[in-house]
Structure 1
Amino acid sequence: MTTIPWRRWTRAVLGRRALLRWVHLVLGGALLMPYFLLTTVILGSVVRSDDLLTSLPWQLLAFAAALPLAALTALFPLVRPLEATAARALCGLPESAELAAGPAASWDARQRTALWYALHLAVGGVVSGVTLAVPPAAVLLMALPVAGTSYGADLGWPGAFDGGRAVLAPAAGALLLAGVAVVALGAGALLARCAPALLGPAPADRLAAAEERAARLASRNRLARELHDSVGHALSAVTLQASAARRVLDADPGFAREALEAIEETTRGAVAELDSVLGLLREESEGAGTGPAAPSPTLADLDGLLARTRAAGVTVDLDGPPPGGLPPVVSREAYRIVQEGLSNALRHAGPVPVRVRMTRCGSELEIRVENPVSGAAARARRTGGGRGLRGIAERAALL
């Protein structure tokens, strides 16, 4: 039982995620070096001090001056996807973390990327410096009891372990190594916590993505409505036309011939509409069309729709001609609504009389498709469908 915490700590400090985070930090330190050398040269030309390269205060000043310069270069839009890719691969982020995939398009995204870049380079520079400086010192301390206190005396600080205190040097070296591991662990956890906030999508990016998803969903729903209304009506009409032709084939060959002609015309129109819808789908999926799509039917094509429905043995009465002067989009949607009403009558009521009436009052168009329902049809159990009326409601709502 007591070994479980040690295993957990060992895995946290020396596990794969910790090693990847350490690599990410060292990369940050490597990216900092050009900026650090540039600021060192600039300070050397201004200060002209002999101990610029050996003085810790001057080196810290060059380190601090390099960070704003690095942040300035991170305003370049392509820095964000590069940093996001590195963070996603090396920071050990949770699966729910969302990072931006494209270049920074807004100033808010660029500023947050610049802040992340400066943080990555600053923390990575510290961890890289500690990684380069502390392990040799720790090895020196561990070797003091064997090599003697004169080993490394020119450094000054090993003299603190003269005499009997030399036995403490290995423990001090081990603590230094543990300190390096803890610093790297904490720095990696800090970057992993800050990555989603600084490299994640900006509010404008989230809004654009939501609008794109909504547009894509609306397009898919529109194509689904077109397929349902056009192909669904054609199949319903062809089913009844074929049934009527079969029943009267011997008794009334003329009617059967008309029904077969109607089947041919209905299927030809359905194939044309299906090809048109599939062409639109291909354009939206590939971003380019293969040619002009066939025009969608309007109320001007209503007579052909009624004729094909009558060929199925259904009596269809139209109360007056369709209203004129309608906008094209309204005329197209009105045709589809009448088509779906006739399809419902064919599918669920059978060969019963259907009356279609359209009246226009100002800016409103009222469409009525009415038919009687027999008792057998009323008691019949529906075996599918249920999307037609919802499609009609969506068409009306979009208008």
Structure 2
Amino acid sequence: MTPLFGRRARLRWLHLILGGALLMPYFLAAMVVIASLRPSSTLFASLPHQLVGFVCALPMAAVTALFAPARPLSAGAARALCGLPAGRQLAEGPARTRQARVRTAAWYTTHLALGGVVSALTLALFPFALALVVLPFSETVRGSLVVVPARELDRPWVLALAPFAGVVTLLAVAACAALAGALLAGRAPVLLGPTPEDRLAAAERRAADLAARNRLARELHDSVGHALSAVTLQAGAARRVLDSDPEFVREALAAIEETTRRTVGELDSVLGLLRSGEEQGAAGTTGPALDALDGLLKRCGVPVSLTVEGEPGPVPAAVSREAYRIVQEGLSNALRHGGPGVAVELRIAVRATDVEIVMDNPLPERPAAVRPGGGRGLRGAAERAVLLGGRAEAGPHDGAWRLAARLPLRTDGQEKK
């Protein structure tokens, strides 16, 4: 009996009754129109006229379902009551395209049509079936059952079969409701499911969210990761000479203090992006750029030989920020793998069309230890360059480790600012 009276069957039955209730305003409006055309005192009691009103109500319901809010309301009711097949999802949000509106109208009309039929059967046959069940035990019911002549109800075989006929009628109504509910559940993913436009919009939203998360991950890695690497090495060096060189210890502590102070400011900026959750705000935020490169080189913890060709001033803000982060990652990489004594050669060339960054540092004598999850920094540098339409590569070159990046000053259709 579960398919007919189980929880899923009851919820689907309720969904159909809801459809019948939603059909009533359209049905009454249709009957009013019919009454104005054919005045009659028995109009609402006439089954043919009721059928005509039912048929005329469905196009009216279909028209109202063409409005955009109809889809989320229908989808919400279907999710809660229909018992959808496993793995089938319904669309989110209003219907924006013609195809989505037509599908929603088809679903809404089907829901109201089946709901009207099941509601009518429920209201008409349920009391009749219950009356048949109690017919042998109640003279009052036998006297009030006008659909059968009273003399027929007094026959013993009628009284004996009446309860079975009542049970069969109840089962028939439940079966009709179960079949109609299963039909709606099967059509819901087709008519209320996402259209190709919905899937494309969802994919674009996921891509935008992923890009925003990757941006935040790069910012955290490059700012906080660089600071932690520098602070760790400076603190380790200061610990080793704590008793023999107090002046170096004071300089190291001052560098650690300055590094952490600047990093806290950068961390606040990144967390502000995370709290706002607005891509426009993320794109327009300011951060350290090439004009802050001197401070980065002074506190990076490694000796750097800097060569600048051209004038960094005309570089667009976005390119300047990404160039700063790429240099920062190169210094962090040199510091982690070479230690505080490694020498780094940095060349920045600003041309009319692009900015070129080349960083060289000696390869370590022993291969660097592989850290779980390591390598994100170099991938992040490559992503930064690709997002601007450039490229970045890192690897051994002529006995040294080289990080090279080229960032165009403008992309197609974008003027340099």
Using structure 1 for the length normalisation, give the TM-score: 0.84
- Tell whether the 8 Å contact from 2:212 to 2:279 is kept in structure 1 after alignment: no
Contact 2:273 2:281 in 1 (8 A): no
Residues 14 and 252 of structure 1: CA distance in aligned 2, closer, same or farther (over 3 Å) = closer
| 1:87 counterpart residue number | 78
Q: 2:393 maps to what in 1?
A: none
User: Which position in structure 1 is the counterpart of 2:399?
Assistant: none
| Paired residues for 1:265-280 under 5 Å | 265-280=258-273
Cross-structure match for 1:381: 369
In 2, Cα distance between the equivalents of 1:247 and 1:321?
A: 39
For residue 288 of structure 2, what is the amino acid of its counterpart?
A: P
Instruction: Specify which of 245, 258, 264 is matched with residue 257 of structure 2.
Output: 264
Contact 2:343 2:361 in 1 (8 A): yes
Listed as ranges, the gaps of 5+ residues in structure 1 are: 1-9
* 1:123-145 Cα deviation digits (max 9, x unpaired): 01101111122234445656777
Contact 1:234-1:267 within 8 A present in 2 as well = yes
Displacement of 1:75: 3.0
Q: TM-score, normalised by structure 2?
A: 0.80
Single out whichever of 26-35 and 244-253 deviates more from structure 2: 244-253
1:18 matched to 2:9? The reply is yes
1:291-341 Cα deviation digits (max 9, x unpaired): x96x311111111111112xx3x3211133565332221111111111111
The 8 Å contact of residues 310 and 351 in structure 2, kept in 1 or not, is answered as: no
1:16 and 1:245 map into 2 onto residues whose CA distance is 71
CA contact (8 A) 2:30 2:56 kept: yes
User: Is the CA contact 1:161–1:169 (under 8 Å) kept in the aligned structure 2?
Assistant: no
Secondary structure (helix, strand or coil) at the match of 1:357 reads strand
Q: In the alignment, is residue 33 of structure 1 matched against residue 33 of structure 2?
A: no
Alignment partners' CA distance in 2, 1:280 and 1:141: 70
Secondary structure in 2 matching 1:155: coil
- Give the equivalent residue in structure 1 for 2:122: 131
Deviations 1:33-79 (A, max 9, x none): 22212211110110224542232221110110011112222334333
**Counterpart Cα distance in 2 of 1:390 and 1:266:** 24
Contact 2:306 2:347 in 1 (8 A): yes
Alignment of 1:57-76 (within 5 A): 57-76=48-67
Match of 1:354 in 2: 344
Secondary structure, aligned partner of 1:75: coil
Structure 1 position 343 matched with structure 2 position 335 = no
Aligned residues: 381
- 1:394 counterpart = 2:358: no
> Are the structure 2 counterparts of residues 158 and 25 from structure 1 closer, same or farther at C-alpha, using a change threshold of 3 Å?
farther
Alpha-carbon distance between aligned partners in 1 of 2:25 and 2:384, rounded to the nearest angstrom: 61
Aligned twin of 2:201: 208
Q: Distance in 2 between matches of 1:300 and 1:176?
A: 85
Question: Is the contact between residue 161 and residue 168 of structure 1 (CA under 8 Å) also seen in structure 2?
Answer: no
| Cα distance in 2, alignment partners of residues 157 and 79 from structure 1 | 48
The 5 Å alignment of 1:110-149 reads 110-139=101-130
The corresponding residue for 2:45 is 54
Pair 1:99 & 2:90 matched: yes
Q: Aligned AA for 1:39?
A: A
Percent of residue pairs bearing the same amino acid type: 59
Moved more, 163-172 or 211-220: 163-172
1:372 matches 2:365: no
CA distance in 2, matches of 1:269, 1:208: 39
- Paired residue for 1:297? 288
SS in 1 for 2:362: coil
Whole-angstrom CA distance in 2 between matches of 1:157 and 1:16:
39
Select the structure that is richer in strand: 2
1:109 corresponds to 2:109: no
Taking the aligned partners of 1:228 and 1:353, their CA distance within structure 2 comes to 23
Q: CA deviation at 1:18?
A: 0.9
- Richer in helix (by share): 1
Contact residue 89 and residue 189 of structure 2 kept, 8 A: yes
Q: Does 2:230 match 1:237? A: yes
Q: Is the 8 A contact 1:234 1:270 kept in 2?
A: yes
Whether the 8 Å CA contact 1:28–1:121 is kept in 2: the answer is yes
Instruction: Provide the alpha-carbon RMSD of the alignment.
Output: 3.2
For each residue in 1:115-164, what CA deviation from the matched residue of structure 2 results, as whole angstroms up to 9, or x when unmatched?
Answer: 2221111101101111122234445656777889x968963699999979
Choose which of 201, 213, 218 in structure 2 pairs with 1:220: 213
